[in-house]
Chain A
């Protein structure tokens, strides 16, 4: 239709009126600079979705005391690390995030975490927690929990702890179970759970020096490693079938809960469901297949400070002086049932015999390596173990593993 004077005039009038109205709204609302000032007094914390409530008390207390607003955002566990690495450099990331110590290699390589000065309070944490929070000589993480696996035993079926791996299997068979021991595996293996057996053969992944794990000293392929592979093969598909790559977490849990298995190598996250199902749970150290101590991995969880945080002082203050107190550490413990990292809180929590059992095992645990070279190990490690379990020749497979990892590290 034609543009005639009338319609143009009407349109113009409408636009003017609309513009005035909206401009009025814009003027009345907060200008961006104002909102910037308001945000200068806020700290954003990314928290695992399961633990948001546990921190709410500390957040509110901090806001009350200092006037700084603490915003808790529940994040999906699977994406929290990647989102953090991707968002921090854009300037739109959080100030603090929850995470695990083995992220440190990647976080530090990407320059997204800032060093954290714990000062005198460092001595109040468990040694393994501080060691794990340190990377390349600098502390980056405020630890809140130390997690390791142990053996859950159905004390109704097997009243006594076992003295060795073979003893454990024998006890189970004597009690009439076809699958006395169960551990979570998967098509690509699960080296995290099998690590205590590997260390029992004196084959850690990397050697350590003063600075922690030494990426140049790959000990995976040592003689001990080959012995471990041979033992694994004997317990796999062509042997006693104790290890089965078809068993995933859900199936392992099901077996323990319905009494098919009496020994379950798993972590504190599964204790709740076992207890709820009415099982009389006892915690044992991991029985060793050799005479040496079976040392599982220790995974330390903590909080990281973003390197691009605009409110670093308040964030650091919140971390060191609030999240590092016994009260908050115990709140987090209630939410996740994992041993707290603060010594005093750990002692309080250990009044529960189950936690004490995990803590005893944890005293022997070794932190997971956080160095970037570990990423190359993860790529090949599990799949090699799965192959050995399913009948491949242990020696050649293990040697290939060591060679692949070495090549990938370079």
Chain B
């Protein structure tokens, strides 16, 4: 539990300010991998005045990539086009007709937003709240765990690492029953944490905080050299301080990745949420919307599609916002 590494012979005149420490950190790690495509400065991009290449050469080098891109784009987006088409057809079914965009009307959107039976905005708010808190907490707990696995040596470390991944592989067939019993028992004594509470659901999700995501972070933490920790220790920083002020900032990219992944997972999770949340005002988008179509006789696919289109927005927004971190984030973990 104590690092036995000898104190390194530090350089004379160490700049002990935060800025100085960060500068030393960056120097130790090396230049952060440049991220191309997501910032405006392309490393080797064409600059104004460069001679344009002849078409044949352009095509061989770049044009065919556009073709691939367009084809893949169509393939990716196509089923989603169906959803949008269904959402604009007020009486439509999901797959009943192949005539896309035959009817255009915003009735379904209005219906789902204003129907008193369908508390859509409550679902929206609940889902963002639950997914948001879950993702922040997951990142925090996972980072703590990954840091300890990466920096510290203790018995059971390797076993622990394997276990947290293996535990997540367990088939969750009876999880529903187990969680129901657990939360209803807890709810008997602490109603705020039991069934039909959002806090209860968040706690269940946090049970999965230690998992493959922690492994991702562990890999990334390993790339931050231990000598950085040493340098900070020389300056007298305690372990908590090292963690919070220095390390976390350096691993911010992977934190963004895990935040996005856990947000998406919590956002779309249905099975556990459907058993924990009972009152319609407490339910999430996934639970509420599936209830709209679960009875095949009264299924309102059009409203469901409208709801799904609107529900995809937070994820997409978060996605676009975190894109540059994602690409930058998954990289540095790979470098030996």
Contact = CB atoms under 8 A, between A and B. Distances in A.
A276 B91 contact: yes
A253 B93 contact: yes
A250 B96 contact: yes
Contacts of A170: none
A243 B295 CA distance: 24
A408 B178 CA distance: 31
B31 interface: no
B274 interface: yes
A203 B94 CA distance: 36
B97 interface: yes
Contacts of B238: 1
Nearest to A254: B96
Interface stretch (A74-82, A226-234, A308-316, A392-400): A74-82
29 contacts: A32-B188, A32-B189, A48-B295, A49-B295, A74-B280, A76-B274, A76-B290, A76-B291, A76-B294, A77-B295, A78-B295, A79-B294, A83-B275, A86-B177, A90-B184, A92-B184, A249-B296, A249-B297, A250-B93, A250-B94, A250-B96, A250-B301, A251-B96, A253-B93, A253-B96, A257-B91, A269-B298, A276-B91, A277-B91
A270 B299 CA distance: 11
Given A86-B177, A90-B180, A249-B296, 17 more contacts: A32-B188, A49-B117, A49-B291, A50-B298, A74-B291, A77-B294, A78-B294, A79-B294, A92-B184, A250-B93, A250-B95, A250-B301, A251-B95, A251-B96, A253-B93, A253-B96, A254-B93
A224 to B, nearest CB: 30
Interface of A: 1, 32, 48-50, 52-53, 73-74, 76-79, 83, 86-87, 90, 92, 249-251, 253-254, 257, 267, 269-270, 273, 276-277
A73 B278 contact: yes
B260 to A, nearest CB: 29
A231 B309 CA distance: 46
Nearest to B287: A76
Contacts of A249: 296-297
Contacts of A78: 294-295
Contacts of A254: 93, 96-97
Nearest to A49: B291
Interface of A is mostly: helix
B181 A90 contact: yes
A83 B274 CA distance: 11
Nearest to A269: B297
Interface in B273-298: 274-275, 278-280, 290-291, 294-298
A220 to B, nearest CB: 25
A90 B183 CA distance: 13
Q: Which of B93, B94, B117, B177 has the most CB of A within 10 A?
A: B93
Contacts, number: 55
B91 A273 contact: yes
Interface of B: 91, 93-97, 117, 177, 180-181, 184, 188-189, 238, 274-275, 278-280, 290-291, 294-298, 301
A257 B90 CA distance: 14
A375 B264 CA distance: 39
A53 B331 CA distance: 54
Contacts of A73: 278-279
Contacts of B275: 83
Nearest to B240: A1
A32 B190 CA distance: 10
B232 to A, nearest CB: 16
Q: Which of B188, B238, B296 has the most CB of A within 10 A?
A: B296
A382 to B, nearest CB: 15
Contacts of B181: 90
B307 to A, nearest CB: 15
A276 B184 CA distance: 44
A276 B274 CA distance: 33
A269 B97 CA distance: 20
Contacts of A50: 295, 298
A152 B281 CA distance: 38
A172 B228 CA distance: 83
A357 B305 CA distance: 34
Q: Which of B188, B238, B279, B291 has the most CB of A within 10 A?
A: B291
Contacts of A277: 91
A87 B184 CA distance: 11
B297 A79 contact: no
In the A-B complex, list the 9 residue pairs whose CB atoms are closest, starting with the nearest: A250-B96, A250-B93, A254-B96, A77-B295, A269-B297, A78-B294, A76-B291, A76-B294, A92-B184
A270 B278 contact: no
A53 B117 contact: yes
A87 B275 CA distance: 11
Nearest to A268: B297
Contacts of A32: 188-189
B282 to A, nearest CB: 12
B183 to A, nearest CB: 10
A254 B86 CA distance: 13
A276 B91 CA distance: 9
A87 B96 contact: no
B180 A87 contact: yes
A341 B177 CA distance: 35
A253 B278 CA distance: 32
B254 to A, nearest CB: 29
Contacts of B290: 76
Contacts of B180: 86-87, 90
Contacts of B296: 249
A86 B179 CA distance: 13
A179 to B, nearest CB: 14
A277 B94 CA distance: 17
A279 to B, nearest CB: 12
Nearest to B116: A53
A208 B127 CA distance: 52
A269 B295 CA distance: 11
A220 B194 CA distance: 49
A183 B192 CA distance: 49
Contacts of B297: 249, 267, 269-270
Nearest to B298: A50
